[in-house]
Homo-oligomer: A and B are copies of this chain.
């Protein structure tokens, strides 16, 4: 289904970096869900470029909800958000049109769209489109919170610097959701910011790792094959631009563990079944076990850098050299974090609606 994701709650994304609008349609959200405009704006603010460590492109993200909501309450029919593009300077990108930016989608877009693609500012591949994903996801994330399900993401690692691990999840998630630069340890965050600025000064960029925790998910959600919770979340999360890997629970570290260490023993906590450890990230056999869902994604360094790079002109099919100009982020991992929150919220709403029906929020 390409630009649509989901079976019961589904999102359709549209728009280009330099088009008139970007937007999203969320279909299948239950009726009667409150829309908190401040909440959506706050999430959009967290995604927006942030002064020195981001592109100077100014985006007001004046989103509007043009269907599916009356008096800040969902009607149950498709919710459409529109965000107008402003502050567009097409000229900056003019000479990039046929020399492929390495590790960008310029060349693959040419292969797929035969030259008809909108190449201005990345077109439909632009990270800009994630603003629409965030607005849609904010509605889903707020709805989940009404059911006691909370999502938080921090920059677990950036430019070789690590944040502390999750500790008290409820408190940590709460703290993260108000932070512009989402780290649990502010000192680590300060070092990351310095490293980003250093890379920027070198005309270079850095990557990182995002770690997400979800608490409050009921057990018994997900499927044994194909529509596993890991499979559904990963399908969604590889749409967060620059994500090139995902791991659940202990993830790749499981490869060096033995079963006796890796296994999560069950135990009773009052009348609830819990696990003593959570190396499986809250998912067994593709299905939630009631423990927190924990996963990490890797965000590659922003591909656009201000250094000369070898490339090809894909129209003349000759070797060429690229010197980027314009506005770009030396890092996007700290901005991608709220996109990850949003994407996670949408995928979980779908999984819950499939499990409990379209009135699952009641």
Known contacts A257-B207, A263-B305; is-contact A238 B231 (Cβ 8 Å): yes
**Contact B239–A225 (Cβ < 8 Å):** yes
Q: How far is the CA of A266 from the CA of B318 in the complex (A)?
A: 10
Chain A contact residue count (CB 8 A cutoff): 153
**Contact A255–B209 (Cβ < 8 Å):** yes
**Contact B258–A205 (Cβ < 8 Å):** yes
Within 8 A of B (CB), among A311-344: 311-312, 314, 317-319
Q: How far is the CA of A1 from the CA of B289 in the complex (A)?
A: 21
Of the candidates B267, B312, B358, the one whose C-beta lies within 8 Å of that of A266 is B312
**Contact A124–B158 (Cβ < 8 Å):** no
Could you pull out 13 A-B pairs where Cβ atoms are within 8 angstroms?
A12-B12, A14-B80, A15-B80, A16-B77, A74-B116, A77-B123, A103-B280, A104-B284, A109-B285, A111-B220, A207-B256, A207-B262, A262-B301
Known contacts A68-B14, A219-B111; is-contact A103 B251 (Cβ 8 Å): no
**Contact A258–B199 (Cβ < 8 Å):** yes
Q: How far is the CA of A248 from the CA of B74 in the complex (A)?
A: 31
Q: Which residue of B lies closest to A309 (CB)?
A: B265
**Contact B117–A311 (Cβ < 8 Å):** no
Give 1 or 0 for each of A65-93: 1 = CB within 8 Å of chain B CB. Answer: 01110100111111110100000000000
